[in-house]
Structure 1
């Protein structure tokens, strides 16, 4: 049975006061969740404490180096979960209220192994969206992250002649800048015999996923963006 009382959730730079000794002006603090007698997490984001690395090391009976390495690893894992959540939302949120047939085509198109297995696409889409939203709403190591279609931003994606992504750029808000960007992108695409697509997503990496998706996914992506900004 574990002898420690805490587990490290990540490392943050927006909390600069140690919750143990009260020292202020720290460059970063370690987010720590309490554990129960069986070593399971015992609380929610509200129960997380933020300690300086020295106090965290004392609480865990670790070296400061081990605390820092563990915190950075935990934060990197959280960042990966966030990135996956943004991808799932960027793909599936636009089809959340689409006809069942379209949801099925989008989901099974990405998960062919689930076709004809009894798995219902609508249930899987709902599950993926719920999990993604919960991930981005978690405030353990920082504020909630954007997760709504209204939070999507448009990205211009240039493909090379072999359908590989050559460049991804955020589309500017200013109309003149948008036109200039579009013209420049088209010229570059023509030079490399490629193509240009504009998609909406929560970040640039998610935009890559949407850009590579099938036509139906991109059609619903465009509809969702237009509806959110009508």
Structure 2
């Protein structure tokens, strides 16, 4: 079977002109990465082409529907990689320059099966952070996404008595609203016989991971949350 000339990376609304026929004003375009004869990606973000769905179908020799479905799947996979990258950065960036013992405590606390296997926590933390930052810096289907500690937002996490997370709420910027939220969160935690914790992360899902990891490196996670 003939190897496709292009690989679908996803869809984007940042490019609204078809790179094939020149049609403008499109709602979105399909991001296409050139492929070599062996089916491997051949190029960087600068080589990605943005085609309208019809032109992408013609270039691939596919139906319009197949291109649409493949683009949605590819974009969903990219979104999942972004979500994982946000979790990695939220968990490990606060301890990136901490003493070795603190980095190891957080890493092995999250990856207990790797303890005593020869995997060095310091090397793995550096590796996964580099990969996560590269993922969020990839601009093939949209602008670079926030990836710095300075981009972290604060979240209120309400725990139940069993230490499961009941709710995660983003802390508002307005001072009065923050106070209202804090009061309501404390009341709810009391009803649950639980507790309240303020953490910092790149998004709400990552905040859940940070909340469960917080006690492994209190000083550094508190610094990240400016608590």
- TM-score range for the pair, normalised by the shorter chain length: over 0.9
Q: Which residue of 1 aligns with 2:87?
A: 87
Indicate conservation of the 8 Å contact 1:158/1:197, yes or no. yes
What's the secondary structure of 2:226's corresponding residue?
helix
In structure 1, the gaps of 5 or more residues are: none
Q: Structure 2 CA distance, aligned partners of 1:144 and 1:131? A: 14
Structure 1 residues 218 and 49: alpha-carbon distance in aligned structure 2, compared to 1, 3 A threshold = farther
Alignment of 1:1-230 (within 5 A): 2-226=2-226
What is the TM-score of this pair, normalised by structure 2?
0.96
The more displaced of 34-43 and 63-72 is 34-43
Write the deviation string for residues 12-63 of structure 1: whole angstroms up to 9, x where unpaired.
1221111111111111110000011221111111110111110000000000
Q: Structure 2 CA distance, aligned partners of 1:67 and 1:183? A: 50
What is the TM-score of this pair, normalised by structure 1?
0.95
Shift of 1:2: 4.0
Shift of 1:129: 0.4
What's the secondary structure of 2:117's corresponding residue?
coil
Q: Structure 2 CA distance, aligned partners of 1:172 and 1:166? A: 19
Indicate conservation of the 8 Å contact 2:157/2:169, yes or no. yes
Write the deviation string for residues 64-114 of structure 1: whole angstroms up to 9, x where unpaired.
100000000000000000000000000000000000011111111111111
Q: Which aligned runs of 4 or more in structure 1 are off by greater than 2 angstroms?
A: 216-219, 224-227
Indicate conservation of the 8 Å contact 1:210/1:218, yes or no. no
Q: How many residues align?
A: 227
Q: Structure 2 CA distance, aligned partners of 1:161 and 1:117? A: 35
Q: Structure 2 CA distance, aligned partners of 1:110 and 1:65? A: 41
